[in-house]
Structure 1
């Protein structure tokens, strides 16, 4: 029988990915979250040449740079971001196939898992329109370079790994500490007894990484006045520790954006943030951090199961592979590298939070680990097809759920934005609805949204804050907001009716309706 091309499963998977992404565009095109509105705004700044504002410590630049390139070529922002994300997803699938081949994964299993990858990546493209997929692609590419034959003796591959690691950092800041730690441990494992060569390979790899990353570090220092790889880690750690942000002095009910042309303060939360407490500041905070670690252990388990209900088994196998059997390693050195990355990658999130998307890097690694457990290579298993299909299905369950969940997500905000424009409502606003929906509304309408941090606040307090920032409108939603979510306070009472707004009002005939109170005319 004539052998098929080794990358044929990837080619079919990539074709399926692009077809499904295109088919789902009408279903998911408005499903952008507050993170997405920030990334799209930054991309537009790069595209228009507004570079100083575009430099951002909270949101990584790689996806923005690529999206801006398509926008300058005439592509609309949302389609541009989806195209760029799908290119990253295609690269992710291609590197996965290279790793499958490196570990001699059974062909039948390759086909099954590539169907799963197509579904998973299609969901990922729409679920998170920036950073995560590209970070995973570059980290997987760096891992593949580490596993290349002769890596430990090839200076060219050392340099290539360092460059790829820097690109991963540009894609998402988490890659900075992980690449340093992961590459050092990986090179040490691969070097065998020649530790001097390991030190040399590691030094060249990391020096290349730092040289490539330094220009971006310098730009962040120029803008923020501090040396940092990103502002996201510091802010997120303090927010999850305290349970809420601490805003700067003078910021009370309404949280302003830093730039007058920004849709929402979330474009760069650094400027609104005040104190950033650490767990070592007090015994109380240390206790909170201990509780957070326990909570995050549960979130990690849930996130792993969401990726695949077999993934915890892969993680457990990875831990066991570090034990020696009869004085010898349980698996090959290359397989121990896979095990190392499976265990090491999630650890950096332990102090902050876990979501399934944070762990997308583990998907192909867990597939390889599960294929190596012996079940798919055992002579006792005469037909591995049912097991291959079951394993593939386990990686598709949560992505399919996410795709269904994204149906028409954001469409109500888009329609409301069009109705507001028709009604002549234009200008800055605040609202008694959840910020994730209002951020979307602000992006679609082109108006600036001031986040109301306490939706239980009284109308006089809201009015005073609106006067302070010269905010044009207050949007009051009734019992339900734009997505049908119940719009009630924690105590069950309705949000306050701003009776002091006795000026011009608009009743916008959306579903559900929203009353717009105008404080300052357009």
Structure 2
């Protein structure tokens, strides 16, 4: 009864927080959001040739398309889908903690943690990472249920959910392959599961996973003309390559023309020009790969700390448990090893390619598994020191909630502000009948205001250069160019006869972005 009441209050708090945060960040955008929302518009409009993209998983765009078909504006649809993803993450996480065998006290604590951290995560980005976290948590809960009841139905359900996770983000596929092998080997080694049953369980899981995954892989293969599971891993590896060539996403470094009907080539960067590389090409590339993977491993640990502050303490305790049997007392009672296998597998997915600290969202799926590891840490410490029960629970919860609170208060407002700038600019430009391609990033701390403005106007965005000149802008084919106010480029354009500053008068004195019309003589 006490647990049910705590879960109810946690869910009420979560929904209330989601509504408040959703309203506060109603204009928040990110670069990936533009792609997901545009693809959703194509699905909603039946433009399936434009909707298919090997770089982005389709599930989030499908859900957004349903909201768009219901008549919601794009950003309202995004806020609704992200809020529902957060609720599903909460429910799936609680089910996982219960199935993992945590006591009622720890399930209640974990429920509050998941409810609170999901609020800022739901508005941090319009991306499928929170939905991915929910599906993976629920899939793992079914695997744990199969471990207890030995029902193949649970294993099948886990595979189907993992297949849906693949439709959310392609990284789920290799992660699923790695995790099911580790999971079954762990059960075979430590639970004396018969080898034949372990193999059968893994095959059933993989067969179920393929049911949602195979049709999408078939669609991508036909779309691109060659076998394609996803293009995201290849591109992520490419842009992390050696600095001997320009390897970053060309949509942000070069002027270009997106495919007809698209706002930005970022909707499907798979066909854009990249400079692929391989560590097998030459010794220098192999050394670069080794350094990259080593650095990404360190960076991943820091990013895990932004989810769970006590992660380094858990690693230290695990080292002690490996060396001292007394520290292993709770390892058999809690599925700590499978939880750590999941975290390790998730980390491994991001070692070979492009990884930066602001992409904390990549590690949202680790949160409930980190909580299980945190419970093991607290219970182990309490066997050696008389830590008060209430204090230890609050300390563990704080290790998750404090980083999420810092994200909400100090890092996310800039993203909201950039979206607001773009919306205000688009609304002011509509009476001027601004149509035709735009260019220029006009980057602010919260994102590319130029791209966001093009999204709000529904006009093509032709990208940007690192150091654009009046000549390169004229050659880009754009009709309008956006640039940050007060920059040397803005001053140069204002003195160039081929450019006319048309920044609406109501915004000219307070808006950080200038809009120039390109005059073609």
Would the TM-score normalized by the shorter structure come out above 0.5? Answer: yes
Q: SS of the residue aligned with 1:31?
A: coil
Please state how far the C-alpha of 1:503 moved relative to its aligned partner: 5.8
Matches within 5 A, 1:122-521: 122-150=119-147, 153-191=150-188, 192-242=192-242, 244-245=246-247, 253-258=254-259, 260-317=260-317, 325=325, 331-332=331-332, 334-352=335-353, 353=355, 355-373=359-377, 374-375=379-380, 378=383, 381=386, 383-404=388-409, 405-407=411-413, 408-409=416-417, 410-431=419-440, 433-434=442-443, 436-454=448-466, 456-466=467-477, 471-479=478-486, 487=487, 496-497=492-493, 500-502=496-498, 504-509=500-505, 510=507, 511-512=511-512, 514-519=514-519
Distance in 1 (CA, whole Å) between partners of 2:162 and 2:117 is: 24
In 2, Cα distance between equivalents of 1:339 and 1:252: 39
Q: CA deviation at 1:60?
A: 0.7
Q: Give CA deviations for 1:134-159 in whole Å, capped at 9, x if unaligned.
A: 11111111111111155684222222
- What RMSD, in angstroms, separates the aligned Cα atoms of the two structures? 2.9
SS of the counterpart of 2:454? helix
Q: How much has 1:376 moved relative to structure 2?
A: 7.2
Change (3 A) 1:350 1:150: closer
Distance 2:35 2:252 in 1: 21
Question: Mean Cα displacement is larger for which, 110-119 or 36-45?
Answer: 110-119
Distance verdict in 2 for CA 1:414–1:152, change over 3 Å: same
- Determine if contact 2:128/2:169 at 8 Å carries over to the other structure: yes
Kept after mapping to 1: 8 A contact 2:10/2:111 = yes
Cα deviations by residue, 1:424-448 (Å, 9 ceiling, x for unpaired): 3222111262372222111122222
| CA spacing shift, 1:321–1:379, aligned 2, 3 Å | closer
Separation in 1 of the partners of 2:127 and 2:254?
Answer: 30
Kindly indicate whether the alpha-carbon contact (under 8 Å) linking 1:120 and 1:396 is maintained by their aligned counterparts in 2: yes
d(CA) in 1 for partners of 2:322 and 2:268?
Answer: 42
- Pair 1:344–1:319, CA change in 2 (3 A): farther
Contact kept, 8 Å, 1:152 with 1:198, in 2: the verdict is: no
What 5-or-longer segments of structure 1 have no aligned partner?
480-486
**Structure 1 residues 234 and 9, CA gap change in structure 2 (3 angstroms):** farther
Moved more, 173-182 or 344-353: 344-353
Once the two structures are superposed, residues 248-293 of structure 1 have per-residue CA deviations (whole angstroms, 9 ceiling, x without a partner) of 9x999413222x3322221111122233222222222222222222
1: CA distance, partners of 2:483 / 2:373: 52
Tell which deviates more after alignment, 139-148 or 385-394. Answer: 385-394
CA contact (8 A) 1:99 1:144 kept: yes
Deviation string 1:170-221 (CA, Å, 9 cap, x unpaired) is 1111000000110121122223241011111111111221233110000001
Structure with greater proportional helix content? 2
User: What is the CA deviation profile of residues 289-308 of structure 1, one whole-angstrom value per residue up to 9, with x for unaligned ones?
Assistant: 22222332332232122112
Contact 1:476–1:497 (8 Å) recurs in 2: no
Distance in 2 (CA, whole Å) between partners of 1:280 and 1:86 is 44
> Does structure 2 retain, via aligned residues, the 8 Å contact 1:460–1:498?
no
Could you tell me how far apart the structure 2 residues matched to 1:322 and 1:506 are? 67
- For residues 79 and 247 of structure 1, the distance between their equivalents in structure 2, rounded to whole angstroms, comes to 29
Q: Given the two structures, how large is their TM-score scaled by the length of structure 2?
A: 0.87
CA distance in 2, matches of 1:402, 1:57: 30
User: 5+ unaligned residues in a row in structure 2: which ranges?
Assistant: none
* Whole-angstrom CA distance in 2 between matches of 1:193 and 1:105: 22
Q: What's the secondary structure of 1:475's corresponding residue?
A: strand
Comparing 502-511 and 358-367, the one that deviates more: 502-511
Shift in Å, 1:321: 5.9
Shift of 1:108: 4.0
SS of the equivalent of 1:363 reads: helix
Structure 2 Cα separation of the partners of residues 173 and 291 of structure 1? 25
Question: Structure 1 68/253 Cα, relative in aligned 2: closer, same or farther at 3 Å?
Answer: closer
Which residue of 74, 89, 93 corresponds with 2:90? 93
Query: What displacement does 1:101 show?
Result: 2.5
Cα separation, 1, equivalents of 2:115 and 2:236 = 31
**Number of paired residues?**
499
